[in-house]
């Protein structure tokens, strides 16, 4: 690493040369900073072209009439005046919140189970399996659940033949809200396990010993020590799960071919559907989604910053 | 029964709560896999491999799989080549800029693929003065001949690099911070090594686990990506999967099993390549 020219080591020199040297030093320092930034240029340009500008154009486009290019709030008015658009947001938020909540509670309990396992081999196996399952999303996941719990799915038929239990007569359907919750949990639970097993490592055995020595019961230990320490990571994990479900498109699309009213599917219909393209409304819907997600990501990072206190970083 | 035994039994009951949930979760994760495998094999009457034979003789299967593999490979290479030197450069030269990289790698969470595809179609599909100025004139070059990337696999690869950015940046940044880059770099420089040589011969081998995780996560993400390809109208493997699945549920189940195996291979690759490098530990320890 070339270090910037520092300190004038030759002491006895005239004022003139000292000034010239300091000027040269400034020049070197300046060119050093410039090359530093130049090295960053390819990455920054790439992000500008394919990450920042798409977000900027959506934000701009949501305030512009897509036919006349005049500034307008019409896109947002149309978003708010149609009840099915509002329903899409309600469904999306409810679906993401329910799967994030169930996913983080059940997933946390399961990862505590993994954390307490005595067998290292089994623990590594379960973590490896979780990372496979967390990556198994989208179209294949939807078809796997159709094959499992669809009308002619393996488990549906099995329950009907063996236990005379007809799920679809009982009102269950994989294509409804709760069916979708069941499908989404397939990638939410493993993700929670992957995130919270490392988070559990901050719990030191000494804390438990100290608490027990001072007369604390298991419940007190959890309520007063373990949970307060873990809470920021759990909240961060829940928000990650929320964002993960909120942006998911392929799973729901492949499952019901668009017969579920959630925002990502609505956007794809508005901008690429058969009915007629309304880019302005699509932009307004996308901005609505981004606002929800930015809030989630912001709280997520704020929580992670609190976690780092316990990890001593 | 002594009091101690009773107490330990009560504790065993509490302990079993998390074990119970773990068991339930594992069952929930395993059952659909087995059910899908069996369902795919049930194509006709009884057990047969008919649907697999049909899939392997389908021309579209081979073509879309090849396209997806090429896209995944290109994305992985581009992402690693773009991110790794940048992270190293920032750590050595501009440590204050790390926050910018952190934010850039978080944006894909706030801008999911469905929004990105909409934005990219607008950026490269129509002429917009604001975008032309903000992109320093690059967008008009890229959306007109001879460098037209509108609706091409090249644009898809660039979009995938952004989608995969969080999975690429995190592991590489983490492993770069786990080794002492400053000491390694100064040692290499004092022995007369240049920037690229230091980066390729000293830094890269030391952060290899991070790069492998990043690469395989990217690879498996691209192999399964549906949203962007669907809105760009490019016929990749997941699009083919969706198309087949609408007409034949048994074939779709078999295809789902195949893509599960693909994911399995990627994750196994991470586990085997990253964990089992005996020389690694020594090198990192020496660097501290």
Specify if A186 maps to a domain. yes
Between chains, do B17 and A109 touch, taking CB under 8 Å as contact?
yes
Contact A113 B21 (CB under 8 A): yes
Question: Which of A50, A247, A264 is nearest residue B162 as measured by Cβ atoms?
Answer: A50
Q: How confident is the model at residue A17 (pLDDT cuts 50, 70, 90)?
A: low
pLDDT recorded at residue B277: 46
CB atoms under 10 Å from CB of B234, counted, come to 18
* A87 shares its domain with A25: no
The answer to whether residues A165 and A28 belong to one domain is no
CA distance A254 to A257: 5
Cβ-defined contact of A51 to B29 (cutoff 8 Å): no
Going B119 to B122 to B124 to B129, the CA torsion angle's sign is negative
Query: Cβ separation of A154 and B38 shorter than 8 Å?
Result: yes
Whether the CA torsion B280, B281, B284, B287 is positive or negative: it is negative
pLDDT over 50 at A7, yes or no: no
Q: Do A135 and B185 touch (CB under 8 A)?
A: no
Question: In Å, what is the CA distance from A132 to each residue of A59, B4, B83, B267?
Answer: 36, 42, 24, 6
In a domain, A99, yes or no: yes
Instruction: Kindly calculate the radius of gyration of chain A based on its CA atoms and give it in whole angstroms.
Output: 28
Does residue A68 form part of some domain? Answer: no
Return the residue matching tokens 């996560």. Answer: B217
Query: pLDDT at position A312, please?
Result: 54
Residue A153, in any domain of the structure: yes
In this predicted structure, the answer to whether residue A223 has a pLDDT above a threshold of 80 is yes
Q: Do B21 and A129 touch (CB under 8 A)?
A: no
Verify that A168 and A295 share a domain, yes or no.
yes
Q: Is the pLDDT of residue A61 over 60?
A: yes
Within this chain, do residues A274 and A184 fall inside the same structural domain, yes or no?
yes
Residue A221 pLDDT exceeds 50? yes
Q: Confidence band (pLDDT; 50, 70, 90) for A90?
A: very high
Percent of chain A with pLDDT over 90: 17
Which CATH number is A277's domain given?
1.10.3720.10
State residue A202's pLDDT score: 78
**Domain total for chain A?**
2
Which neighbouring-strand residues pair with A71?
A: A64
Q: What is the pLDDT of residue A181?
A: 93
In DSSP terms, which residues pair with A64 in a beta bridge? Answer: A71
Interchain contact, B119 vs A112, CB within 8 Å? no
For residue B112, the chain A residues in CB contact (below 8 A) are 246-249, 264, 289, 293
Same domain, yes or no, for A125 and A6?
Answer: no
Q: Encoding tokens for residue B30?
A: 């395993």
- Preceding peptide of B146 cis, ω within 30°: yes
pLDDT at A186: 92
On chain A, the residues whose CB falls within 8 A of the CB of B110 are 243, 290, 293-294, 296-297
Task: Confirm whether A54 is domain-assigned.
Answer: no
**Residues in contact with A9: Cβ distance below 8 Å, sequence separation at least 6, in sequence order:** none
Q: Give me the residue from B19, B21, B131 closest to A53, CB to CB.
A: B131
Contacts of B235 in chain A (CB under 8 A): none
Residue of A140, A186, A281 to mutate, testing the B interface (most B Cβ within 10 Å of its Cβ): A140
pLDDT computed for residue B282 by the predictor: 30
From B18, B86, B114, residue closest to A113, measured CB to CB: B18
- The domain spans of chain B are 1-41, 58-287
Say yes or no for a CB contact (<8 Å) between A138 and B131. no
pLDDT of residue B286: 30
Amino acid B160: pLDDT:
93
Q: How many CB atoms lie within 10 A of CB B194?
A: 10
Q: What's the mean pLDDT when you consider all of chain A?
A: 82
> What's the rounded Cα separation, in Å, for the pair A128 and B269?
11
Average pLDDT by stretches of 10, chain B with 288 residues: 54 68 90 87 64 77 88 91 90 85 89 90 78 74 70 88 89 84 86 85 83 83 88 89 84 86 80 57 30
Q: How many CA atoms, within 13 angstroms, populate the side-chain half-sphere of residue B194?
A: 2
Judged by DSSP in three states, A64 sits in strand
Q: CA of B128: which chain A residue's CA is closest? A: A57
Same domain, A28 and A127: no
Q: Is residue A306 part of a domain?
A: yes
The beta strands (E) that lie in chain A are given as none
Test A148 with B39 for CB contact under 8 angstroms: yes
State the fold for domain B58-287.
MetI-like fold (1.10.3720)
Task: Give the pLDDT of residue A107.
Answer: 92
Nearest to A147 among B14, B114, B249 (CB): B249
| Contact assignment for B263 to A47 by CB distance below 8 Å | no
Look at residue B1 in the predicted model and tell me its pLDDT: 47
Give B274→chain A minimum CA distance, Å. 12
A268 → closest Cβ in B14, B123, B231: B231
Query: How many Cβ atoms from other residues are within 10 Å of residue A294's Cβ?
Result: 16
A-chain residues near B98 (CB < 8 A)? none
Specify whether A101 is located in the same domain as A168: yes
Q: Do B35 and A154 touch (CB under 8 A)?
A: yes
HSE-up (13 A, CA, CB side) for residue A242: 24
A20/A127 same-domain check: no
**Is the ipTM beyond the 0.85 threshold?**
no
What is the reported pLDDT for A3? 41
Q: What is the 3-state secondary structure of chain B? A: CCHHHHHHHHHHHHHHHHHHHHHHHHHHHHHHHHHHHHHHHCCCCCCCCHHHHHHHHCHHHHHHHHHHHHHHHHHHHHHHHHHHHHHHHHHHHCHHHHHHHHHHHHHHHHCCHHHHHHHHHHHHHCCCHHHHHHCCCHHHHHCCCCCCCCCCHHHHHHHHHHHHHHHHHHHHHHHHHHCCHHHHHHHHHHCCCCHHHHHHHHHHHHCHHHHHHHHHHHHHHHHHCCHHHHHHCCCCHHHHHHHHHHHCHHHHHHHHHHHHHHHHHHHHHHHHHHHCCHHHHHHHHHHC
CB < 8 Å to A47, chain B: 104, 162
Stronger pLDDT, A295 or B136, i.e. the higher one:
A295
Rounded to the nearest angstrom, the gap between the alpha carbon of residue A100 and the centroid of all alpha carbons in its chain is 10
Residue among A267, A309, A257, A303 nearest A288 (CA):
A267
Please indicate, yes or no, whether residues A9 and A88 belong to a single structural domain of this protein: no
List of chain A residues whose C-beta atoms are within 8 Å of the C-beta of residue B152: none
pLDDT value, residue B285: 28
User: For chain B, how far is it from start to end, CA to CA, in angstroms?
Assistant: 55
Give the CA-trace dihedral at A249, B263, A112, A298, to 10 degrees.
-40
- pLDDT of A97 strictly over 90: yes
- Specify whether A202 is located in the same domain as A255: yes
Considering only residues A134 and A55, tell me which one the structure prediction assigns the higher pLDDT: A55
Of A53, A57, A297, the CB nearest to B106: A297
Instruction: Give the per-residue pLDDT at A225.
Output: 84
Range of the domain at A11: 1-43
Estimate the crossing angle of helix B113-125 against helix A263-272, to 10 degrees.
20
Query: What is residue A96's predicted lDDT score, i.e. its pLDDT?
Result: 94
| Domain membership flag for residue A65 | no
Q: Are residues A289 and A250 in the same domain?
A: yes
């Amino acid at each position: 690493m070339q270090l910037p020219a520092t300190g004038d080591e030759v002491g006895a020199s005239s004022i003139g040369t000292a000034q010239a040297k300091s000027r040269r030093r400034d020049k070197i320092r300046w060119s050093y900073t410039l090359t530093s930034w130049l090295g960053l240029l390819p990455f920054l340009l790439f992000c500008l072209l394919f990450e920042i500008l798409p977000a900027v154009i959506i934000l701009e486009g949501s305030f512009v009439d897509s036919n006349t290019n005049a500034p307008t709030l019409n896109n947002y008015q149309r978003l708010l005046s149609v009840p099915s658009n509002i329903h899409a947001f309600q469904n999306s938020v409810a679906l993401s919140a329910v799967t994030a909540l169930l996913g983080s509670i059940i997933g946390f309990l399961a990862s505590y189970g993994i954390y307490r396992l005595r067998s290292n081999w089994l623990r590594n196996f379960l973590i490896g399996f979780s990372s496979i399952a967390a990556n198994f999303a989208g179209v294949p996941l939807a078809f796997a659940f159709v094959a499992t719990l669809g009308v002619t799915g393996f488990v549906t038929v099995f329950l009907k033949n063996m236990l005379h239990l007809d799920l679809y007569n009982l009102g269950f359907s994989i294509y409804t809200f709760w069916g979708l919750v069941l499908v989404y949990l397939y990638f939410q639970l493993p993700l929670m396990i992957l995130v919270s097993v490392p988070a559990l490592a901050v719990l030191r055995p000494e804390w438990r010993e100290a608490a027990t020595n001072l007369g604390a019961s298991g419940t007190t230990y959890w309520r007063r020590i373990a949970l307060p320490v873990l809470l920021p990571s759990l909240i961060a994990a829940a928000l990650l799960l929320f964002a993960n479900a909120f942006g998911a498109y392929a799973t729901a699309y492949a499952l019901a071919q668009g017969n579920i009213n959630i925002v990502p599917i609505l956007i794809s219909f508005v901008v690429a559907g058969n009915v007629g393209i309304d880019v302005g409304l699509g932009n307004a819907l996308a901005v609505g989604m981004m606002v929800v997600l930015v809030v989630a990501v912001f709280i997520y990072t704020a929580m992670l910053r609190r976690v780092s206190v316990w990890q001593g970083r | 029964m002594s009091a101690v035994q009773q107490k330990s039994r009560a504790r065993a009951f509490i302990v079993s709560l998390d074990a119970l949930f773990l068991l339930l979760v594992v069952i929930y994760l395993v059952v659909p896999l087995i059910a899908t495998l069996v369902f795919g094999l049930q194509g006709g009457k009884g057990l047969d491999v008919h649907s697999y034979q049909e899939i392997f003789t389908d021309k579209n299967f081979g073509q879309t799989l090849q396209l997806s593999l090429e896209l995944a490979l290109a994305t992985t290479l581009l992402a690693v080549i773009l991110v790794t030197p940048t992270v190293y450069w920032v750590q050595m030269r501009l440590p204050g800029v790390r926050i910018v990289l952190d934010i850039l790698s978080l944006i894909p969470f706030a801008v999911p693929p469905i929004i990105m595809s909409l934005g990219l179609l607008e950026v490269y599909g129509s002429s917009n003065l604001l975008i032309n100025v903000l992109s320093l004139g690059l967008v008009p070059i890229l959306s007109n001949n001879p460098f037209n990337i509108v609706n091409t696999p090249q644009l898809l690869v660039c979009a995938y690099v952004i989608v995969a950015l969080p999975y690429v940046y995190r592991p590489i940044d983490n492993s770069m911070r786990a080794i002492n880059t400053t000491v390694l770099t100064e040692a290499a420089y004092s022995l007369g090594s240049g920037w690229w040589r230091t980066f390729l011969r000293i830094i890269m081998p030391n952060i290899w686990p991070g790069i492998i995780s990043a690469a395989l996560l990217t690879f498996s993400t691209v192999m399964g990506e549906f949203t962007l390809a669907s809105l760009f109208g490019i016929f990749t493997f997941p699009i083919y999967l969706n198309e087949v699945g609408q007409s034949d549920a048994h074939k779709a189940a078999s295809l789902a099993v195949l893509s599960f195996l693909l994911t399995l291979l990627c994750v196994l690759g991470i586990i085997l390549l990253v964990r089992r490098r005996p020389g690694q530990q020594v090198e990192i320890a020496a660097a501290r």
